[in-house]
Amino acid sequence: MKCSAEGVPRRNAITLRFPISERFYAMNINRRQALAIAASGAVLPTIASAESTPVPVAGKAEHVISIWLGGGMGQIDTFDPKRKGDPKTKKAGSYYDPIETSVDGVQLCEHLPKMANLMERVTAVRSVHHDVIDEHAATTNRMHTGRDISGTVTYPSLGSIVTHERGAVHDGAPPYVLIGYPNVTRGPGFLGAKDSYLYLTDTGQGPAGLSRPDGITPDRQARRERFLTALKQSGKAVADQKISDYDAAIEQSLKLSGPEFGGVFQLDSEPDRLRNQYGGEFGQRCLLSRRLVQRGVRFIEVSHNLNFLNGAGWDVHNAGILNQHQLIRELDNAVSALITDLHNNRLLDKTLIVITTEFGRPPEFDSGGGRGHHGRAFSCVLAGGGLNHCGAYGVTDELAKTIVENPVSVPDFFATICAALNIDPAKNLYDGDRPVPITDRGRPIRSLFS
């Protein structure tokens, strides 16, 4: 089974309907063209905004676990395999053999056998694309904010947008946790500090910012908090929103620094058998993300940046591709364990798993036998979240290089995530008085919503 597409008019278009021979002739034009027609004196019996034409879609997901594959996961070597290639003879094609999955007609790379057995709960969106220069910083920004870098606006990340719209599930949990290194592309942009993330890099210790330094006893911490409260009460009220947001972030951090929230990072309380199923450090990050979901965190990003496996991570130029299979197997173990674990805890329909990366890789091999960058057609993955999954959506050509059916822009992909969380992807946020559409006019993949 594969998802089908439904045609939806672009927003900001206007549909004009003219009675011709007792029928109606419909024409989609933009607003400027409509004004020109009106100025010419033409009679327009019916003018309808296309914004109101599509029936809104809304999912029931409550959480997002977003897995970031830094470096650029090659679609042709993972979720969109094609004919076998040969780096020695420079024959373009897949590096590995394909295997069948639990969904008829959908194949994966041979190093994703566990995911292959779960594809009825997964949709590999094979037709994601963007036109950003194939450079890591620019594309990392695009795949986190949904937009190009701007000289005038610092756009919020998807995690901060979800945080802004939905907040934490429970008061005793942060809304947004980053398991990886902090970066402006993951940040709140113009939304402000209150919609930012709490981050950690060591799953065994939790966020360093919530740990008290040695020598700071509970009594001493309590005295400091009383002094801070008295200091705030003695001063004048501050009208600056940035300062207010910063104070709110400090207040939340103080709430989360106690043992109650800290217990979520005690992974050794999980059964050894389950921890072994998840695998190494990346797997433990995925296990922690499940525990954070249970604690009430709304959005978790899990970074997969363990470059020591092949010296290059997912950026498989030259010899970096030789051990790429180790990264793929690690992804297979961890994500399949996460899907199964969430299902066993009755959390899979409430939790949308998202796998993204900067861009894909071309089918051709470079001079060293590896692959370059390719943003015109690549795969991102959705799992769980109560969606109507179909194994794969979108079709590329015989070498996974060009999209031939159902293209999905980055705004469309973001709109699908927002809709799954019952966030209106057409809503405007505001940078001061400036309206900024959440998804830059993205349209959800409607067939994923039953």
Alpha helices in 281-361, H assignment, sequence order = 281-295, 324-344
Range of the domain at 165: 63-212+220-448
User: CA-CA distances (angstroms) from residue 427 to 132, 152, 298, 376?
Assistant: 24, 21, 20, 27
User: CA-CA distances (angstroms) from residue 183 to 186, 201, 210, 253, 433?
Assistant: 6, 13, 19, 19, 26
DSSP class of residue 108 equals: E
How many domains does one find in the chain?
1
What CATH code is carried by the domain that includes residue 381?
3.40.720
Distance between CA atoms of residues 201 and 285, nearest Å: 9
Using DSSP's 3-state secondary structure scheme, residue 430 falls into strand
pLDDT at residue 220 in the model: 80
* Residue 46, domain member (yes or no): no
- Residue segments in the chain with a per-residue pLDDT below the cut of 70: 1-2, 4-55, 208-214, 236-260, 306-308
* Residue 10, domain member (yes or no): no
Complete DSSP assignment for 45-87: SEEEEGGGSSPP------EEEEEEETT---GGGTTS--SB-BT
Query: What is the number of helices (H) and of strands (E) in the chain?
Result: 11, 18
pLDDT at residue 20 in the model: 34
Token pair 């947008």 is found at 161
For residue 446, what are its two tokens? 């409607």
* Residue 403, domain member (yes or no): yes
Q: Say which amino acid occupies 126.
A: R
For residue 55, what are its two tokens? 């029936």
Burial bucket for residue 249 (CB in 10 Å: 0-12, 13-18, 19+):
middle
Asked whether 357 and 305 are in contact (CB, 8 A), the reply is no
pLDDT at residue 44 in the model: 46
Distance between CA atoms of residues 232 and 250, nearest Å: 13
Asked whether 5 and 405 are in contact (CB, 8 A), the reply is yes
User: CA-CA distances (angstroms) from residue 87 to 265, 269, 282, 325, 365?
Assistant: 43, 46, 29, 15, 6
Of the candidates 414, 378, 441, 449, which has an alpha carbon nearest to the alpha carbon of residue 78?
378
Distance between CA atoms of residues 140 and 276, nearest Å: 31
Residue 401: CB atoms within 10 Å: 20
- Positive or negative: CA dihedral 317, 333, 412, 2: positive
* Residue 30, domain member (yes or no): no
For residue 186, what are its two tokens? 């993951």
* Residue 426, domain member (yes or no): yes
Asked whether 267 and 290 are in contact (CB, 8 A), the reply is no
The size of the chain, in residues, is 450
